[in-house]
Structures are given as C-alpha cells and as structure tokens.
Structure 1
Amino acid sequence: MNRHTRNNTESGSEDRGRWANKREYILVVAGNVVGLGNMWRFPYLCYKNGGGAFLVPYSILAVVCGIPLFLLETVIGQYTQEGMVTCWGKICPLAKGIGYGHLLIKLYDFIYIVIQAWALLYLIFSFQAELPWANCGNTWNTANCIDSQNWDSQSANRTENQTMVTNTTSAATEFWERRALAISGGIEELGSVRWDLALCLLFCWVFCYFSIWKGVRSSGKVVYFTATFPYVMLLILLIRGLTLPGAWEGIKYYLYPDIGHMADLEVWVEAGSQIMFSYSLATGTLIVLGSYNENNNNCYKDSFLLCLLNSGTSFVAGFVVFSILGFMAQKQGVPVDMVVDSGPGLAFVTYPQAMAMMPLPQFWSVCFFLMLILLSVDTQFVTVECFVTSLSDLFPRLLRPTGRREIFVLVVCLASFLIQLSLVTEGGIYVFQLIDYYGCNRACADIMALFECLAVGWIFGIDQFYNIAEDMTGQRPCFFFRLCWRYFVPLWSLRHNFPQYLLILLEISPSLGGRHPSVWAWG
C-alpha cells in the first residue's frame, strides 16, 4: 500500500484520484496555461513595450522566474499529494496562510467564465446570414454608426476632416456596447439581467460542472478535445492572417525592436507580470495539478516542456494578432498602434470588425470565437477543480465519500452562477473590471510568489527540497534554481512592489495615520 492510499485509508475517505496517464496531465496543464493571455495579452504588451524588444526581458524573466517557480510548485504538489492548502502542512506549517491566500485568489478567478459567456453569444450570432456587427441597420445602432464596408473610406478622411469622424463609432463597437452588454452609465446602475447572456453563462457553468464532477477522471478526458482543438483553430487563423493584405506591416511592427524600451523598468515589470499570468504561477493551480501525478513522475522534464509550449504559443499567437491588425490598419488608413486595444476591446470589437471585412465572414467568426471559448474553458474548469480539490483535502471525511463530491461541485457551480448574475447585468462590465483590477492584480501573485520562495528556500530548507526533487525525478535541480528560489525571485518581487507593500502597511495600521483608498491601484 503506497503512502497516498494509506493516508486516505487512515482518514476514512475515498481516494482522491490520479491522472489515468501522463498524457492527461500534460494536456490539462497545457490547456490551463495556454489561454486568453496568450491570444491577446502577450501581443498587446509586445506592441506597447517596443515590439521585439519586449521579447528580451520576457525571455530573461521566463528563465529566472517562470521556469523555477513552475518547477517549485509542481514539485510541492507531487511530493505532498495534497491541495494548495494542506500541502504546506507537510512542507512548512508556518506558511499555511499561503494556501488560504490561493483559495481566495481562486474565488476571484471564477469571474473569468463571463468571457466564455460573451464569446458564446458572439458564436451564436456568427451563424446569421449577415453578421450583426457588420452593418448599422439594427435596432441598437445610432446615427453615428459606420458599418464595416464604409469604415475604411471614412477612416481615410480622418486626416482631412478630424471633426467629421470624432463622434462616429463602428458597427462592431455598437454591437458590443449597446447589444451584447447594453452598458449602463456606471456601476451604481446595474440595471436588469441580460437574459441571453445569463443563459450563455448558465450553459458555461453546466459544461464546467460535467467536466469536473468526477474529478480528474472526467476532466482528464475532456481536455483531449478542449486542449488540442484551439491549436487547429490557431493554425487556420495564422494561415489566413498571413495571406491578408497589409499583414506583413503588422508583423513588422510586432517584431521590430525598439531598444530604448529595454531601459524602462516598467517594461520589465510588465514582462514579469505576463510570465506570472500566462504560466499560472503563485495561484496554487500547479500544486493541485501536480498532486495527481505519480510520486516518481519526472516533473523536472515536464516543467521545461510546458513552459516552452506556453511561450511558444504566445509567440505564434502574436503573428495571428498582428497580421490581422496590419490588415485593419491598411483598410482604415491608420498606423497599427491606432488599431490595437487590449482586453475585451481586442477580442470583441477589433477582431469581429476584421472578420466582417473578410470573404466568408461567418466562417472566420465561428473559428475565432470557438477558439476563444475553448481557450478559456480549460482554464476555468481547472480553476474550479483546484478550488474543490483543496477544500476536499481540508475536509476529507466530509467531502470525499462517494457521491458527496458531485453534490459539493454542484453547490459551488450553482452558487457561483447565481452570484455572477451581477456580471451579466447592464452594469456587469463595471463589476467585472472592478474585480479584475483589484482582486486579481499583479501584486497578489507577486506576494504569493515571494512567500512561497521564502517558505521553501529559507524555512523548509533548500537542500532538503533538492533531495525531494531528486528522489522523485532522479534528477537533481541545477545550482541555478537554488539562486532563483532563494534570491532572484524574492528580490524581483520586492523590487517593483516595495511602494505597494509600504502602502498596504499604512492602510492596515491606523496608528501610522495612513488612509489610502486606492492602495491596490499600484497592481
């Protein structure tokens, strides 16, 4: 009887499960780390911070921070065979608060399922005979609307008559703001629930439930499709993007290095935040996924391959994004940097507008939004699975017996859906942005990474951790990782967040007289 089975027998609970094979683990982790951040966030940061010059700090920080933290968390999970909270009881009981911090971050991360709901609504509209964001003949359009056929000619007049186009909006923008979201005047005006978005949100939660209700036995099977099919869509969009007129101007803008940006600390900070975001670091996810591995799995090799896959996907996605943006720039007669927008603006305004200008717009729209949904599906159900697993490990007698897991997952999904109805109201976008900015910001991940490295590198003992990794994988981590875990990552986290840590201390210490309502805005 192995250690994992013996612990479950002693606690009187059902076995927590394992991956059926190595392939399932790789696909689930790949599906989790390869997501929306690769498709829009990485290319946007690249263009914003000097094009190809951004790749230099990104690559350096991937080696110094990304891969070491990825390996650190995977080893912790695989060694302890526990969730993100209980694992610290075996490594460093003093650091158990890190796990509770991860749980809180996971709750905030639940909100990103609303992006699936938005994409699903767009996917449904993509099957219409004429795309509704391609023309201005709809009930929600205003007199200032310009359809996709006339947008390029109107934009060409921008330099001749700036006043004429100041108050105009594209049909894609009006569909996003006035039809899909029906945005209200502010967060204080939540308004009514958008029933079509609510149904899309319900469908997304139902799919999430049936993806994880049996634990890794179900989620490990779902990823055979959800983790691989987005790459097919990405390849189709890449081929199409490279054949568009103006595509190479966009790619040139993407790759052309502006060396002056490398001296800007903010560029390095944003490169580091992208590594943390896209690698799913310091959120507890990698700990939980690694805990389902066999104890002798070579996670050392896995970590290198998965990090390479993630960064490689980001790089390729940049070609897809900027080929389309180059096409848009040529059609509108403007520079590439006037077309790009980050976040929802890129995924739900710029892309739909570009698709509407192409031949067979319905086909390209279906491809894009199907890819967008599948990219976010894996990340979402892994997020919920990690939350459920960690609570089950905290209360094994209560939550692990046969049948109780399914009920607990149902309660989590149903409660989350009901709470998130506020996200699909007319003011829901403001609620989403509020949680996204304050609850899931860069400082949260950096603080978690700092304490993880302090707990392992200085309290548990780096030599003991090296021995654990060697016993499991047969390979002893190189000396470079010792430097990263004990010095580089903690110092990097402190360097650009020290002002924020100071403000937090002022906020929670009234005796110091600090009252800063926007203390988290530094993130």
Structure 2
Amino acid sequence: APDTRLPDTEPRGQWGNKLEFMMTVAGAIIGLGNVWRFPYLCYKNGGGAFFIPYVVFLFTCGIPLFLLETALGQFTSQGGITCWRSICPLFEGMGYASQLIVFYGAITYIIILAWSFFYLFSSFSPELPWASCGNYWNTGTSAGPRWAARGAADPERMLEMSNWTVPPNATLPVMEFWNGRVLNISGGIEEPGSVRWELALCLLLSWTICYFCVWKGVRSTGKASYFTATFPYVMLVVLLVRGVTLPGALDGIVFYLYPNPSRLADPQVWMDAGTQIFYSYAICLGYLTSLGSYNKYNNDCYKDSFYLCLLNSGTSFVAGFAIFSVLGFMAREQGVDISQVAQSGPGLAFIAYPRAVAKMPVPQLWAVCFFIMIILLGIDSQFVGVESLMTSVTDMFPTLIRRGYRRELLLLLLCSVCFLLGLLLVTQVRGGLYLLQLFDHYVCSGATLLFLSICQSICIGWVYGADRFYGNIENMIGYRPRALVKYCWLYLIPVICTVSDVRPSYSYPGWAYALGWFLAVSSLSLIPLTMLYKVARAQGTLCQVGTSCCGQRGCSEQDAAHIGTCWDTLGQNGTQWVMLGHAGTQWDTLGHSGTRWAPLRKQRAARGDCDG
C-alpha cells in the first residue's frame, strides 16, 4: 500500500508517556472551581451533608461522562469535532458547538489570570496595597469618592453580582483596591469604558505563556503540565499548613464540615451538587476527547477516568480546609461570625483571602504563594482549552495544517484574536466584570453544558448504542466497565440534566439577557443545523440515509470508514497503513516484528464495531 502523504506532513503525535496524559488532564479539570467554589457550596448546603448529593452526582454523571469523552477520543484518535463525524455523523454538530464554547471560554477565563497577575505583582510592594487606606484610590482621595458614594448608597448592588457578603464597613481597603484600583467597577454592564493598560499587559502576559505551552502540541503541553499540575499542590499544602496553625482555624473547619442533614430536603442543594460536577470536570467541552485522542489505543482509560475523578474531588475537599481555616482566623480577628466572611468566586480569591493574608506575619510571602497557586490552577485549564481547540481544527484539515510552521501560525492567530476580544473585558471604568459573568453563565456553563450532556448521552447510549460502545472500550482495555456506567448513559444523565436549573445571581438589563441567549444559541444551534445539513447531503433511500448519518457501520481511526487510506505514526514502532478498499484487508508494519496481515472484517467484528 503506497504512502500517499505529502512528504512534509507531520504525524499526529502521541503522549510521551502515560504520566503526561494524567498530569495534563489533572491540570485541566483541577482549577479555580476546586478552590473558590466547592468549599463555599459545601458550607452553604449543609456542610458534611452536602457530600451525599455530591457523591451521588459524581458516580451517576461525573465519572460516566468523563469516561465517555475520554474513551471516545482514545477510540477514534480524533479531536472534539471529527470524533463525532467518525462514529455518528448526524451528531457532528455537538463537536462544533463544544468548540465554539471553548473559543468563548478562552476569551473570558483568562481574564481571571490577568487579575491574578495584577495582584501577584502588587504583592511585591513593601506594604500590601490592599492593607492600608493611604492610597489614591481610597475614599477621601482623588480617585475614590465616586465609588465610595455609590457603595455607601447601595453597597448590596455592588456585591450581588458575585454573591459577595456585604461587610460591616462597605469601604474596607481590600474592597477599595479591588473595585477602585483593579476594576474601577461601574454601576452596570450598560456603562462601557476605555481599556486599562495595566490589566491589558497582564492579559498579554497570560496569552504569551499560554501560547508557548501549546505551540508544539502535546509535546509542549505534556511537558508544561509537569509543573503547572503539580506545583499548585505544593502551594496548597503550604497554605493548608499555615492556615491550620492560625488562631480560629478550628472554628472555620467546623463551620466548613458541620453537617446539617435537614438541608438535603432542599432541591437547590442537589442542584448545586450537580452543577458543581459539571463545572469542575470539564465535561462537554471536548477537552477530554482531545487529550484522550493522543493516548495509545490499548490505554486503560476506564481506570484513568476513575482515578482522575477521585483526584479532582479529593482536591476540592482538601482545599476547603486551606480556605476555611484562614476564614476562621479572619472571623476571629474581626470579631464576626464566619458566615459574614465566607464567600465564593472572585469574592474569595480577590477580597476575602487577600484581606486575611494582610493580617498574617510576612503578608507579602503568603500573598505571593496564594496568587501563584491561583495562576497555576488557571493557566493549565486555559492552555488545555486552547490545545483542545487546536486539535479539533487540525484534525479537520490535517494535510493543510500539519506542514511546516502552519500550526504555530494558526495558534498565533487564535491567541491574537482572543487577546483582542478579551480587551473588552478589561475596560477601565465600566462593565468588564459584568460582561465576564454574562459570558460565564450563558456561554461557558449552565444550560449549554447540560444540553450538550443530554445530546452526548442520547448519541452514545441510543443512536450509536451503549452496548456497542462498551464493546469498543472492551477492545481497547481488555474488559468491560461496570454496567452502572451504561445505565447512566441511557437513563440517568438525560433525566438529571433535563431537570437541572442554573440561574444568574445578577440582574441584567433586557438587552444583556438577549445578548447572553444569543451567544448560547450561537453554539447550540449548530447541532440541529448540522443534522439538517447531513440529512440533506445524504443520498439513497430513507433507510440508507439513516444508516449513513447514524454511523451504523461503526468506525475509528483504525477503520477510517470515510476515507480510503489512513496512517498513524506509532512512535518507534513504525507506521501503520489501513487499507479499506474492496478487499477489506489490513497491513500493519510494526518495525522489528515485521508485517502481519489480518482480514478487516474479522478484526472489526472482534471489536464489535459493525454487524458481521
């Protein structure tokens, strides 16, 4: 079989070793939500009792969907778009939708890194700038009166957008630094303004780091993850040890874990548990599919998924001790109840924790440690998202992009466009944070991911066939996963995602809601539009159209059902050619082991990919 590749087309590549895959996936899923969202939800929803609905959703939604996406990528050796084209062309639109969401998320998520860099650089000053009132942005100086008057008149409006608790003094230095120095926050999304050059430079730095983590594909991504996925744990342990030695730490930990079983009767508690699973496991974004596609075909993705999910949830649990021990110290210092200082989201990372750090000995050291941890937790989630997007686009046009420096140039174009669009979110005086929350709720989480989860479960469970996909997994790992996973794909996930509800906490003007829903529909509408396109382009009888669009033949990169010949570099083992002509035979060159011939039909039947 002749190799018809262009001579300068680069191979797709694989992970250097299994550890690179595990580290990169861990870095992608273990992010800011583990530190600033899970502990708050735990205390808010009954303390230790919250673990009951959380574990239920973990085993009925989190692990099954995590396995589905990882195994799909490994089986097809394709990114987030072409993987669906390979097994079920009718649902290819899910790939387009997820990658458009990733594109939106790449623009917005990195803004948090820009804020974190701003705080990190500010931490190197002789005195933490949010620890005193003698700065120009504080009340009583040239830059502060407008915000102070607005906050004094209606402080709850200033804080409701991020569920921040109103402190006894609405003009504390740490809040004035956040609102007056970092954001110069406005009264609402309807008030735009000019770009803040300091945040713009921090945003540029974030994108530069992201570019060089991704520019050589999995070769650079895997190497970068050794540091970005492990060093946050070092910082977390340091902050945990420091936190539990502070006065009042035990009060905070008890407040974090004290069980209140009566809260389990509240449906919102179960909603929060399910939402946290989808929020923190990078489900339905194509991350796991793209990363899994670089695995070896016989990698045990079932055990990998189980261990990675437990690592993710375990990190969230431990992070709660590090956070609430410090909040307990902060509450004792101020003489208030912990509920008045317990916050989530940006309110925790940029107000509550910096405020507590300012009261510690050598505050600059602990501030630097904390914001380095925040940056590293965010940066690997960011560059894995960009890698997922690049993988999906490259797999659609492999011979066009995998040549010379075209991939690097495409990546540079992508990062540049996202940077320019991100400047809208670092506006000087008005509205950047409101836009960020609008994007986060309507585009990158909430109903969009729930809808994609339903579509994925229907596609794999009912259209492609859960038993059939189980056969594919068995062919890869040598055994069948537990039956519970299959029933979750078939029944539990569609039902749970249908009844879940996520609502924004900030009241936007009508046009902002319209913009949010437009952005959400811009991605989700690609699913039915692609279905209509596939059906319209298909030829033959109705039965033949259904068979073609629903992937009844079953295929993978090993089958390459939609192309005549495919190739895959196998590292030092040589190159594999798969011929799918009328003869239906396969030649596999395996370096030292020589050449073997196997009938394709027998191989496909053994895998359970097709009938007969």
1:169 counterpart SS class: coil
Is the contact made by 1:172 and 1:349 (CA closer than 8 Å) also made in structure 2? yes
1:50 aligns with 2:46: yes
Q: Where does residue 273 of structure 1 map in the other structure?
A: 275
Cα deviation, residue 186, structure 1: 2.8
Report the residue type matching 2:172 in the other structure.
S
Report the residue type matching 2:403 in the other structure.
P
Cα deviation, residue 382, structure 1: 0.3
Candidates 419, 422, 426, aligned match of 2:421:
419
Distance 1:498-1:457 versus aligned 2 partners, 3 A rule: farther
Distance 1:53-1:499 versus aligned 2 partners, 3 A rule: closer
1:23 aligns with 2:6: no
Report the residue type matching 2:74 in the other structure.
Q
Q: Distance in 2 between matches of 1:220 and 1:518?
A: 35
1:77 aligns with 2:81: no
Candidates 208, 222, 233, aligned match of 1:220:
222
1:285 aligns with 2:287: yes
1:128 counterpart SS class: coil
Candidates 457, 477, 481, aligned match of 1:477:
481
Matches within 5 A, 1:327-342: 327-342=329-344
Q: Deviations over 1:455-498 (max 9, x none)?
A: 00101011111111011011211111111110111111112359
- Give every structure 1 segment of 4 or more consecutive aligned residues whose post-TM-superposition deviation is greater than 6 Å: 515-523
Q: Distance in 2 between matches of 1:54 and 1:322?
A: 16
Q: Deviations over 1:259-315 (max 9, x none)?
A: 111111111111011111111111111001100101111111101110010000000
Matches within 5 A, 1:348-497: 348-426=350-428, 427=430, 428-497=432-501
Is the contact made by 2:443 and 2:516 (CA closer than 8 Å) also made in structure 1? no
Report the residue type matching 1:369 in the other structure.
F
Q: Distance in 2 between matches of 1:25 and 1:109?
A: 22
Is the contact made by 1:66 and 1:276 (CA closer than 8 Å) also made in structure 2? yes
Distance 1:211-1:318 versus aligned 2 partners, 3 A rule: same
1:188 counterpart SS class: coil
Matches within 5 A, 1:7-406: 9=5, 13-110=9-106, 111-143=108-140, 168-406=170-408
What is the identity percentage for the equivalent residue pairs of Structure 1 and Structure 2? 54
Q: Deviations over 1:382-417 (max 9, x none)?
A: 001101110111122322212100000000001111
Q: Distance in 2 between matches of 1:35 and 1:352?
A: 19
Is the contact made by 1:423 and 1:429 (CA closer than 8 Å) also made in structure 2? yes
Report the residue type matching 1:177 in the other structure.
N
Is the contact made by 1:41 and 1:343 (CA closer than 8 Å) also made in structure 2? yes
Distance 1:101-1:337 versus aligned 2 partners, 3 A rule: same
Is the contact made by 1:105 and 1:440 (CA closer than 8 Å) also made in structure 2? yes
Is the contact made by 2:63 and 2:306 (CA closer than 8 Å) also made in structure 1? yes
Report the residue type matching 1:89 in the other structure.
R
Q: Distance in 1 between matches of 2:43 and 2:520?
A: 22
Is the contact made by 1:212 and 1:218 (CA closer than 8 Å) also made in structure 2? yes
Cα deviation, residue 168, structure 1: 3.9
Report the residue type matching 1:109 in the other structure.
G
Q: Distance in 2 between matches of 1:450 and 1:402?
A: 40
1:190 counterpart SS class: coil
Is the contact made by 2:8 and 2:404 (CA closer than 8 Å) also made in structure 1? no
Report the residue type matching 1:386 in the other structure.
S
Q: Distance in 1 between matches of 2:425 and 2:413?
A: 19
Is the contact made by 2:447 and 2:502 (CA closer than 8 Å) also made in structure 1? no
Q: Distance in 1 between matches of 2:500 and 2:223?
A: 41
Distance 1:457-1:498 versus aligned 2 partners, 3 A rule: farther
Is the contact made by 2:250 and 2:325 (CA closer than 8 Å) also made in structure 1? yes
Is the contact made by 1:140 and 1:178 (CA closer than 8 Å) also made in structure 2? yes
Report the residue type matching 1:50 in the other structure.
G
Cα deviation, residue 184, structure 1: 2.9
Distance 1:499-1:487 versus aligned 2 partners, 3 A rule: farther
Q: Distance in 2 between matches of 1:201 and 1:499?
A: 29
Q: Distance in 2 between matches of 1:354 and 1:414?
A: 37
1:447 counterpart SS class: helix
Q: Deviations over 1:222-241 (max 9, x none)?
A: 11111110000000000000
Unaligned runs of 5+ in 1: 146-164, 501-514
Structure 1 stretch displaced more, 439-448 or 9-18: 9-18
Distance 1:461-1:9 versus aligned 2 partners, 3 A rule: farther
Is the contact made by 1:33 and 1:280 (CA closer than 8 Å) also made in structure 2? yes
Q: Distance in 2 between matches of 1:520 and 1:200?
A: 29
Cα deviation, residue 89, structure 1: 1.2
Report the residue type matching 1:51 in the other structure.
G
1:318 counterpart SS class: helix
Report the residue type matching 1:237 in the other structure.
L
Higher helix content, 1 or 2: 1
2:110 counterpart SS class: helix
Is the contact made by 1:12 and 1:397 (CA closer than 8 Å) also made in structure 2? no
Unaligned runs of 5+ in 2: 145-166, 505-512, 522-612
Query: Highest Rg: 1 or 2?
Result: 2
Matches within 5 A, 1:1-12: 9=5
Is the contact made by 1:300 and 1:475 (CA closer than 8 Å) also made in structure 2? no
Is the contact made by 2:30 and 2:280 (CA closer than 8 Å) also made in structure 1? yes
Is the contact made by 1:280 and 1:286 (CA closer than 8 Å) also made in structure 2? yes
Q: Distance in 2 between matches of 1:176 and 1:392?
A: 40
Matches within 5 A, 1:505-516: none
Distance 1:521-1:396 versus aligned 2 partners, 3 A rule: closer
Cα deviation, residue 519, structure 1: 6.6
Q: Distance in 1 between matches of 2:245 and 2:503?
A: 47
Distance 1:522-1:55 versus aligned 2 partners, 3 A rule: farther
Q: Distance in 1 between matches of 2:449 and 2:26?
A: 20
Is the contact made by 1:31 and 1:378 (CA closer than 8 Å) also made in structure 2? yes
Q: Deviations over 1:144-179 (max 9, x none)?
A: 99xxxxxxxxxxxxxxxxxxx966421110001001
TM normalised by structure 2 equals 0.76
Report the residue type matching 1:135 in the other structure.
S
Report the residue type matching 1:468 in the other structure.
N
The number of equivalent residue pairs is: 486
Report the residue type matching 2:456 in the other structure.
E
Cα deviation, residue 518, structure 1: 8.1
Structure 1 stretch displaced more, 433-442 or 367-376: 433-442
Report the residue type matching 1:429 in the other structure.
L
